[in-house]
């Protein structure tokens, strides 16, 4: 019945049986469906420290439902911890490392299904990509967000802070608006529980995406990591994965074009992270779906309105969104647009799942005829600077800024840009260009988001624009355009922008251009030559291997066979 049940008497059957019997697995358990519990627990980051308990709850539930659980550990990157080395170059590559580790462990052992404990930014898309690639019964367990607390500091007078406040305050420290003691006191208050970053950053956005795709139980996102609800979801997910495995419900019957479109529309409605575009592109690629996800964001951006205003887009907090009804409540507002016949891991349709969805606070989750904004949360810009598209979080752009025009101020890394900010080298009206920081150029997308956060801390984010092919955070806010495609290292136009060139952004017309004659742009591109990639550590390092395999970011920057694809 199950692929894991090898023929008695064969080598594979005999050697595996010897090992498993030595581990205390009973004879009667040998024929049960064998379920991988993908646990990304580690002690490097608060994003993961609570996962061992959730894994135990899920395993116990799998046992009770008649399955045989096997806990499998994988790499577990944290955007605020694993970013320390090599200017964050390891972050994007670890997403694909998660996928490959799952393939090696689950396919190598020929297990029957898996439940993935999804937490920080890269694990959720990695789990969804692995589900689409392996195409064995899978369910994701969203493991929740953290909350901050009040800061015991005379200046702040018990003001509430979270990790986003700390992140942005680096700029305030650099420009003298805060002292080191102030910042230190904030760090004491900002994280009070396990879980991913508070706010609608990439982690919580991808949690919502997982549910919108139909790959989690309804209501699993967003969810507080330290509460009783997430533990109940762990139990329920363990029970459900055994049912999915018995009925052979495969991810590719769930992650199809309808599901991807539902996820895109949900991201637009909540104002999710700009990084959802690359991750959904990667999921579609792994599922072998012939979809241009960037164009889907453009297609639905004309109809979907912003229905929530969760930090960094507005004053509401992630816990407010949860209490208001979470992802099911948001999707219930979008019924007229969604594919309600899409299948989910409940083995019911999305429409059936939403039948009981309720909006508990209409001020937090608005109706379509009373949106927070008539603009979608995420927009795609195109023009001579980004012919294949660029992404802007419209929900985080000040309403009074329908566009921006200014001279290019170019940096090849955010450390240099932050130092320039500290020394007054970045002025109101500048368009700061951070380039050669994409998946290929990094290699392994380099942080641009700390500079963006520093602009907010310095109090000039509304007066400076940023365009980049580097890594942005879903927590970033301001006049920020990211994921310019093609990236500079591929020979995209961003590579030939010169200091002082005028760049124009038009958020209403969704345009991004440099005011340089087309003939001049072509001449610059014809003369452009790729720089040596700053790999470091020799040709056998993972970053070196990644640079040789990473695909264009428009395809999700997945790993493949094309090799270095930049212009020669």
Total count of residues recorded for the chain = 568
CA distance 301 to 395: 12
Of 203, 473, 117, 145, which Cα lies nearest the Cα of 319? 145
Mean pLDDT to the nearest integer, 346-370: 97
Mean pLDDT to the nearest integer, 79-98: 89
Mean pLDDT to the nearest integer, 10-27: 96
Mean pLDDT to the nearest integer, 369-382: 94
pLDDT for residue 537: 61
* Chain segment 150-180, per-residue pLDDT in tens: 998 878 877 999 988 888 888 888 788 899 9
CATH topology of domain 29-147+195-354: Rossmann fold (3.40.50)
The set of catalytic residues is 473
CA distance 194 to 145: 7
Confidence band, pLDDT 50/70/90 cuts, at residue 121: very high
Of 388, 465, 375, which Cα lies nearest the Cα of 429? 465
pLDDT at position 564 over 50: no
pLDDT at position 567 over 50: no
State both tokens at 558.
């997945």
Mean pLDDT to the nearest integer, 13-40: 96
CA distance 138 to 255: 11
Confidence band, pLDDT 50/70/90 cuts, at residue 562: low
pLDDT at position 563 over 50: no
Mean pLDDT to the nearest integer, 387-397: 92
Domain boundaries, the chain: 29-147+195-354, 149-189, 379-555
* Chain segment 434-457, per-residue pLDDT in tens: 999 999 998 888 888 889 888 988
User: What is the Cα 184 distance to its own chain's centre?
Assistant: 28
Confidence band, pLDDT 50/70/90 cuts, at residue 565: very low
Mean pLDDT to the nearest integer, 450-469: 90
Residue 294 in contact with residue 556, Cβ under 8 Å?
Answer: no
Mean pLDDT to the nearest integer, 115-139: 97
pLDDT for residue 333: 98
From the number of C-beta atoms within 10 Å of its C-beta (0-12, 13-18, 19+), residue 1 rates as exposed
* Chain segment 286-342, per-residue pLDDT in tens: 999 999 999 999 999 999 999 999 998 899 999 999 999 999 999 999 999 999 999
Of 419, 456, 416, which Cα lies nearest the Cα of 433? 416
Q: What is the largest CA-CA distance in the chain?
A: 75
pLDDT at position 55 over 80: yes
Rounded to 5 degrees, what are φ and ψ at 138?
Answer: -145, 145
**What is the CATH number that goes with domain 379-555?**
3.50.30.80
User: What is the Cα 369 distance to its own chain's centre?
Assistant: 29
pLDDT at position 416 over 60: yes
Partners of 502 in the β-ladder:
407
pLDDT for residue 536: 60
Report the percent of the chain where pLDDT is more than 70: 98
pLDDT for residue 350: 98
The count of other CB atoms within 10 Å of the CB of residue 459 is 12
User: Which SS3 state, helix, strand or coil, does residue 11 take?
Assistant: helix
Of 506, 487, 505, which Cα lies nearest the Cα of 496? 487
pTM: 0.93
Report the percent of the chain where pLDDT is more than 90: 77
pLDDT at position 566 over 70: no
CA distance 47 to 120: 6
Burial pattern 416-426, b for ≥16 Cβ within 10 A else e, equals: ebbebbbeeeb
């Amino acid at each position: 019945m199950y692929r894991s049940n090898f023929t008695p008497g064969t080598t594979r059957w005999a050697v595996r049986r010897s090992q498993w019997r030595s581990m205390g697995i009973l004879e009667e358990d040998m024929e049960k469906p064998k379920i991988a519990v993908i646990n990304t627990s580690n002690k490097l980051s608060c994003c993961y420290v609570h996962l061992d308990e959730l894994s135990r709850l899920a395993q116990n539930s799998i046992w009770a439902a008649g399955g045989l659980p096997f806990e499998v550990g994988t790499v577990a990157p944290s955007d605020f911890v694993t970013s320390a080395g090599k200017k964050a170059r390891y972050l994007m590559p670890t997403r694909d490392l998660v996928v490959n580790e799952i393939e090696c462990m689950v396919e190598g052992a020929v297990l029957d299904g898996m439940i993935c404990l999804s937490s920080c930014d890269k694990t959720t898309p990695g789990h969804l990509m692995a589900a689409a690639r392996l195409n064995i019964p899978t369910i994701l367990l969203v493991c929740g967000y953290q909350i901050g607390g009040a800061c015991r500091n005379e200046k702040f007078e018990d003001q509430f802070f979270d990790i986003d406040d700390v992140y942005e305050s680096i700029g305030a420290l650099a420009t003298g608006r805060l002292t080191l003691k102030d910042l230190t006191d904030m760090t004491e208050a900002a994280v009070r529980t396990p879980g991913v970053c508070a706010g609608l950053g990439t982690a919580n956005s991808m949690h919502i995406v997982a549910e919108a795709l139909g790959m989690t139980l309804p209501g699993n996102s967003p969810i507080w990591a330290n509460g009783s609800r997430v533990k109940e979801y762990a139990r329920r997910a363990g029970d459900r994965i055994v049912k999915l495995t018995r009925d052979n419900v495969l991810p590719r019957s769930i992650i199809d074009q309808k599901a991807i479109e539902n996820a895109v529309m949900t991201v637009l409605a909540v104002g999710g992270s700009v990084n959802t575009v690359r991750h959904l592109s990667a999921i579609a690629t792994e599922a072998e779906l012939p979809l241009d996800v960037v164009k889907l964001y453009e297609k639905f951006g004309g109809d979907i309105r912003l229905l929530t205003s969760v930090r960094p887009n507005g004053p509401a907090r992630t816990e407010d969104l949860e209490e208001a009804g979470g992802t099911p409540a948001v999707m219930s507002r979008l019924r007229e647009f969604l594919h309600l016949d899409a299948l989910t891991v409940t083995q019911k349709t999305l429409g059936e799942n939403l039948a009981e969805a309720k909006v508990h606070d209409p001020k937090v989750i608005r109706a379509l005829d009373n949106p927070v904004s008539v603009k979608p949360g995420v927009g795609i810009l195109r023009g001579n600077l980004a012919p294949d598209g660029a992404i802007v979080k419209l929900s985080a752009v000040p309403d009074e800024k329908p566009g921006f025009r200014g001279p290019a101020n170019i940096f090849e890394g955010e450390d240099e840009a932050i130092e320039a900010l500290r020394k007054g080298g970045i002025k109101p009206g500048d368009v700061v260009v951070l380039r050669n920081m994409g998946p290929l150029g990094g290699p392994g997308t380099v942080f641009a988001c700390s500079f963006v956060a520093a602009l907010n801390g310095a109090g000039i984010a509304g007066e400076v624009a940023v365009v980049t092919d580097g890594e942005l955070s879903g927590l970033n806010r301001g006049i920020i355009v990211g994921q310019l495609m093609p990236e500079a290292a591929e020979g995209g136009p961003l590579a030939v922008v010169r200091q002082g060139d005028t760049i124009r952004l038009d958020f209403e017309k969704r345009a991004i251009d440099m005011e340089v004659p087309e003939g001049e742009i072509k001449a610059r591109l014809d003369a452009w030559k790729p720089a040596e990639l700053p790999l470091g550590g020799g040709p056998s390092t993972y970053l070196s291997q990644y640079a040789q395999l990473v695909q264009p970011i428009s395809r999700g920057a997945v790993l493949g066979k094309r090799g270095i694809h930049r212009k020669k």
